[in-house]
Structures are given as structure tokens and as C-alpha cells.
Chain A
Amino acid sequence: MQRIIKNGEVIDERWHLLPVDATLDGISNSDDLIVPLGLWLQSSHALKVRDGGLGVWLQSHEQIEDIVDDLKYFKVVALDFPAFTDGRHFSSARLLRERYGYQGEIRAIGDVLRDQIFFMHRCGFDAFAVRPDRDPYDALKGLQDFSVTYQTGVDQPLPLFRRR
């Protein structure tokens, strides 16, 4: 079983991430599922009536504007990093929290590594599915990289100049 970082701890993963080309065929009714955006846009009615938990995941070029009216249906929004150097979803996470008031889990998936987690957390990510070949306990240390930050962020809305 994969383990992920959630709220600063390593926990067992219970959500299933469906691949990008998943269809409704044979989809479990009771499992907790994170479905690709495309499936959600096609089949939201069917997905809403399932018993299991529902989350959605976005590729790095997909826009959160496509889900902002549906946020109440999602316990998890997972944002994919095809490479850790693709920073688009840093903005997506901030917008979800700061503009659209999303309070559920925002999870980083894909090329998620220790050295980016600090920034991700500041942008509003609270869960990290660290790349499977890496130790999530090691990655956890990345959250402690800095004890002072200058800018506004989701973790600390007041910039340092309003606190110093």
C-alpha cells in the first residue's frame, strides 16, 4: 500500500487514482476514487450518486476553472506534476484556496519530491503523494526547510512586512 503525506504526517493511502483514460465501466461503487477531469466532465451525474468518496485530478495543462462550480462534490482535488519543474499547479492550488474557498484536500501527485514540498505547502497543498521510489518520511523533512517567509501564502496570508 502506498503511503502519503497528509497534514504533516505519513499515513496509509485509501484513495484509488483512476488513470486518465478511465471510463465508468466496472467502476467501484463503494471505493474512494479520484477520477480524471475528463471523466468527471462527461459523467458527473453517475459519479455523484456513488456511495464511495469522490475526488478529481487534473493534468498540468487542465484548468481549475473547469471544476470551480463543482467543488462541493470533491473531498480531494489532486493536481498532477508531470515533472516537478512544471509549476502551473502552484497557481491552481492557491486559486482553489484563496479565490474559490476550497477546504477539502489538495493533493500533489506525479513527480512529487522533497525539495518542492515546502513551496507546495505554502500554495495550499496539504497532501503529497511522494513519488513511489522515494521515502515519504524523508520528504516530510522538506516541510521544515524554512522558518521565515516573505510573501503572502495559504499557510500565512500576511506577508512578513505586516508581521515584522
Chain B
Amino acid sequence: MHPADRPGVRDSLRAENYMYVYDEYDQRIIEERVAQFRDQTARFLAGELAEDEFRPLRLQNGLYVQRYAPMLRVCVPYGLLSAPQLRMLAKLARDYDKGYAHISTRQNVQYNWPKLEDVPDMLAELASVQMHAIQTSGNCIRNVTTDQFAGVAPDEVIDPRPWCEIIRQWATFHPEFAHLPRKFKIAVNGSAADRAAIEVHDIGLEPVRNEAGELGFRVLVGGGLGRTPIVGSFINEFLPWQHLLSYLEAILRVYNRYGRRDNKYKARIKILVKALTPEVFAERVAAEWAHLKDGPATLTEAELERVAKHFVDPAYKALDDQSAALAALDAEHPGFARWRSRNVAGHKKPGYAAVTLSLKPTGIAPGDVTDKQFDAIADLAERYSFGEARSSHEQNIILADVEQSQLFELWGELRELGLATPNIGLLTDIICCPGGDFCALANAKSIPIAEAIQRRFDDLDYVFDLGEIDLNISGCMNACGHHHIGNIGILGVDKKGEEFYQVSLGGEAGRNASLGQILGPSFAQDDMADVIAKVIEVYVEQRSEEERFLDTFRRIGIDPFKERVYAKNH
């Protein structure tokens, strides 16, 4: 039984209505994991496991040792959270950390200040709400990510969530792929738009139907960011769904055997795919798959049904769209109108909407959530959205099933909580890694840059007028902040021991993803807000009506931006 399903919980809030609920097997696996990790930690603390031996073990459980303290990354499988899980995240922040946590760009939740010896207890608490930290780091298959609007998006073709769960189970403690050459990330998208950035993942999957109406997958391999950013290549245009796992196994086996291990900067699958060419890589996979196809890993109707039944629609009411009533509220409350235009997305059901809670108010590290906010979000989820919430790779939280007639009331509550900043998709909705304030690998801080830009662009009307702009910041070339695929990307670099920042323009995360072009020499921290302001000036001067930043950039190219930013001051 999922903890959400304790006696007395209203039927409409039962977890089985909106997320995968563990059975005794799933539960036993995570409990055995807690015991295993408790023992490993004890052996490490007793000196029986050397640091080098413990490191890969703790990493596979999401535990980094960072600049000031360990960092624990908790897995949020494909971004789905129940109210009890949100309350547990709050409790961990309160009891084991400094009262807040961080939503990562891979939909996970990170704690920045736990104590190593507390981690086994934290994992035990997580296990009580069907959560864990398995494979959230290390050279193994990581958390599967997807569209934060999965299951409710009006443009959805196929719900990706059952597939994510099937892949999650297959990847969990996969014995053959526990020590890959490097980390391995899989993303699934089920919609016309690609909100899961599948083209920059090691494997990207898209469920599709062929002309006969049969279900299958388009399979992409070899995307990734980091120091060698590459947009992946599709190697299979239609893989019948029954063969998903055997095909994944074939890809991973080719990678595990032939991926480079001599140089960790050349160890990602993208380097292998590039070296062989996507065509040859595809042939190798096909040759391997020929042996695995139709074996015991072949998926069954029964399994698909067992998993998919957890992702059926919640008990939606028959409602009508509230356009007129909402327009009237807009007219009366400009703040509501603004919020609605940015933070409220369409829904496949009339009368419903998906609401994004912005974790990007000025002055707070992008993606940070306090324990009180987690608790409050849990309550709001139960009152407004069937008890469910999602995390997004843009580092925000979503209530996916809100009745339009309740939007106004919800907006009021969110404002009280500091979660109603109306900036989703705008310049100040910055995607940002922890950077030098927390991360030991950083070349430069990233959070203060985000804040400086937010402060410079503090005029909401202006930011609204600028329209959609993705701005991404990474503190080093590991690219945890996805700076390559930001319309504006900022990368921390080290120049003779000083923190500098390189700017790139024109990146794009969605379908037909593209990598940004570097503007030129890097800038000092204090200049960054000015630099971004100049980039924006050029856009404002050059745009034609309704043209997004990215479209203007694609039309006019990088030179006008260069000229302005590097012009000598008179």
C-alpha cells in the first residue's frame, strides 16, 4: 500500500490513481538497498572500506562529498511526487539539513548539508514513502526523465510515464551495467513538442504509432552536454514496443564493451557513437539485438497493463473551459492575468489547467525549496490537484490537474508562499547549477550571477515584453545547468585563478535541439548583468513583432550581439 493510501484518505487522492505504487517486490528491493548501504557506510566509517572503494558505492546512491559537506541526491522517478512524498522531503530538509533542498535539472531533489552518518537513516525514511536515491549518480543508468506535463498535455501523443516506470525497473540494479564507462541518462518524450530534451540524452525515446497504428519507439543515441556537447542521432525509427528492453540492453552492451575507459572525458556514449558514426553504431546494436530479440526480456501485454493501470486519468469532473470567467478576473487583477499567462498551461481536459509553481523568485537560488514550502505544496496538491505534483528539469514544481475555477484561489495561496512569481519561460526563470557555492568541481559561482541578472531585470513589464528566453548557467564545463542549450548560456571558466564567464547564444533544448554559439572572450562576474542587458538590447532593437529571442538570433546571427557587447566604451 502506498503511504498516500492510508485509511481515511479520500478515494480521489489514492496514489494508485496517479502514480506507480510499489508492490512487495519493489518495496523489498529498496529496503534491502537501505540495509546494504547502511552496512557499506558502517564499513567505511570503521575503516574497512577505503575511500576509493567507498566512493563509487556512495555515488551509486547519490551521495557526493562536496565543498562543504556531502550532498545527497534523492531520486524522483520521471518527476512524479505524491503528497506524502513531498512531506517526507520537507521532513528530511528539516531534520537532516538546513531547512531547504534543491530541485535539480534532472527532476531530482538534492540536499546540500546532510551528515554522512545520517544518510542511511534518511534512506530508510525515504523507503517508507517508496522513495530512494538509487543510481542518482555514478557511472550507471540514472533516473529516467520526461515531460513535466506527461499525461495532461494537450499535445501528448502517448503517455510516457508507463514506459519510464518499465525502464526504471529494468535499470534498477541492472547487474551487467553497474559499472559503465560513464554515467548514462535516458529521457522519454510522448508529445508533439519535446519538453524532455531527449536529443541531448545518452538515449532519447519517443513512443510513436506506425501507419498500422501499432505502438513503437523512435530511438536516439549519443546526445549529451558536458565538455563535448553533442545532439544525438536517431538510430531506429520504429522499434516495436515489445522489444524496448532487449534493444536497450543491446545498446548498453555495445557501450559497456566498447566505450572508452582510458579517459573519463571521452567515456560517454556520444564519443563512441561519433567515433564509429551513428550508422555503424546502429549496425553494432542491430547485430547484438539479433541475439537478444524475442528472449525473456521481451515485454508482455500483461506487464504493460500492470504498469499502465497506475497512470490512468484521475477522476476528472465533466467541466467546461472557464475562458470568460477567467478573462473577467484578468481584467480586475492584472497580477493574476500575468501569472495566468506565464504559469498556467493548457490541459487535455476542458475546465482544467496545469500550474507551474515558480522556484525562481529573485534572491533565492534557482530551484531551492524550503521545508515549509514542501509541506504547503503537499497540502495544495491534495486540495487542488488529486494529491500529486511534479518536478521539472527547468527546476520548478507543477500541479498538473487544477480546476480552472479554482485558479484564482490557488494563485492567492501561492503568492503567500512565494511560489507565484509570474516568470515561467521568461528571462528570470533561470536554470542554474549549484556552482561554486556548493560544488567542488566549479570554476565559478553560478547562483550570484543568476541573482544579479534577476535584479537587473526587476521590471516585470519589461521581462514580460521580452517574452520567452531560456537562460542557463553552469559553473563549469560539466554543464549541469545545461548552458549549451539555453537561448542564452553562461559558463563559469577559470582565468588564472579568477572566476570568469563565457556567454553563448542560440541554444535550444526542444525538438531539433541546437547548441549555442560562443559570443567571444569571457567576462568578469561584475560585468555579467551588463553583458546580458546589452544582448537583450540588441534583441529589442532588432526583433520584428512577436519574434522570440531565439528566432531573432537565428535571423540576424551572432555578429550584431558581438559588436554591441564588445564595443569600446566611449
Contacts and interface: CB of A to CB of B under 8 A. Distances in A.
A159 interface: yes
A147 interface: yes
Central interface residue in A153, A159, A161, by most chain B CB within 10 Å: A161
Interface of A: 84-88, 90-92, 94, 99, 113, 115-116, 118-120, 122-123, 145-153, 157-162, 164
Q: Is the interface of B mostly helix, strand, loop or mixed?
A: helix
Interface string B298-309: 011011001000
B332 interface: no
Contact of B170 (A113, A123, A151, A157): A151
A9 B7 CA distance: 47
A122 B176 CA distance: 8
Contact of A164 (B23, B36, B173): B23
A87 B177 contact: yes
B57 A115 contact: yes
Contacts of B297: 151-152, 159
Contacts, number: 97
A86 B40 CA distance: 20
B178 A90 contact: yes
B193 to A, nearest CB: 31
A162 B170 CA distance: 13
A153 B174 CA distance: 9
A104 to B, nearest CB: 20
A122 B178 CA distance: 12
Interface in B163-182: 169-170, 172-180
A131 B416 CA distance: 59
A116 B257 CA distance: 18
Interface stretch (B24-32, B345-353, B497-505): B24-32
Contact of B256 (A88, A120, A157): A88
A164 B296 contact: no
Interface residues of B, number: 37
A106 to B, nearest CB: 14
A122 B32 contact: no
Given A84-B53, A158-B296, 13 more contacts: A86-B179, A90-B178, A116-B179, A119-B173, A123-B175, A145-B32, A148-B32, A149-B29, A150-B29, A150-B172, A150-B173, A151-B175, A152-B295
Contacts of B180: 87
Contacts of B139: 85
Given A86-B179, A90-B178, A94-B176, A146 B296 contact: no
B562 interface: no
A87 B173 contact: no
A91 B139 CA distance: 15
Contact of B179 (A85, A145, A152): A85
B70 interface: no
28 contacts: A85-B179, A86-B179, A86-B261, A87-B176, A87-B177, A88-B261, A90-B177, A90-B178, A91-B257, A99-B291, A116-B178, A119-B175, A119-B178, A146-B33, A146-B173, A147-B28, A148-B25, A148-B29, A148-B32, A151-B297, A159-B170, A159-B245, A160-B25, A160-B169, A161-B302, A162-B300, A162-B303, A164-B306
